[in-house]
Amino acid sequence: MRSLLLLCSALILSAPSFADVTGAWTGWVYWNYQGSGSKCFSSLKLTETSQGLHRQGGNIECEFARMDISEQILTKIGSALSFENVEVGSWKEDSFEWTERYSDTVYIENIISVKGNSMDYHEKWMHVSGREIYDIKGRFFRK
């Protein structure tokens, strides 16, 4: 009996940890541009595996604009995240942080933090000069 308990404990402790971001998420974000912002409806679909994070897409809908969130597949290598064999960020049990290139002059900093069925979402669009273009923050809930 004691051996069975030790074996079960070892299996539980050695199991890979996940942020548990898999699912369809809906919520709201504040899309800020040059100090003023608007509250927008948002949706996002994610799948997490032991090998990586798959952002299957989503969107942000505001009165003034609509933005589609593109598909992206990030690979887990230890605690690092890579895209097309280039390290772009990191992950831990309850969060992901990475940077993606939008164009030659613009990149996007992404942070996702999960607690149960809610997720804090943050993306910051930056010019390579260091100037902030957009700051988008919000909260999503798992459907």
pTM for the whole thing? 0.83
- State the chain's mean pLDDT as an integer: 88
* Domains of the chain (ranges, CATH numbers): 17-142 (2.40.128.20)
pLDDT: which is higher, 7 or 106: 106
Q: In this predicted model, what pLDDT tens digit does every residue of 121-140 receive, in sequence order? A: 999 999 999 999 999 999 99
Contact 48, 22 (CB under 8 A): yes
CA distances from 41 to 15, 63, 137 (A): 36, 10, 12
CA 80 – CA 70 distance, rounded (Å)? 21
Q: In this predicted model, what pLDDT tens digit does every residue of 59-86 receive, in sequence order? A: 999 988 899 999 999 999 999 999 999 9
**Residue type at position 118:** S
Handedness of CA 24, 114, 136, 125 (dihedral sign): negative
Residue carrying structure tokens 């996002």: 44
CA distances from 70 to 11, 19, 45, 67 (A): 37, 21, 10, 9
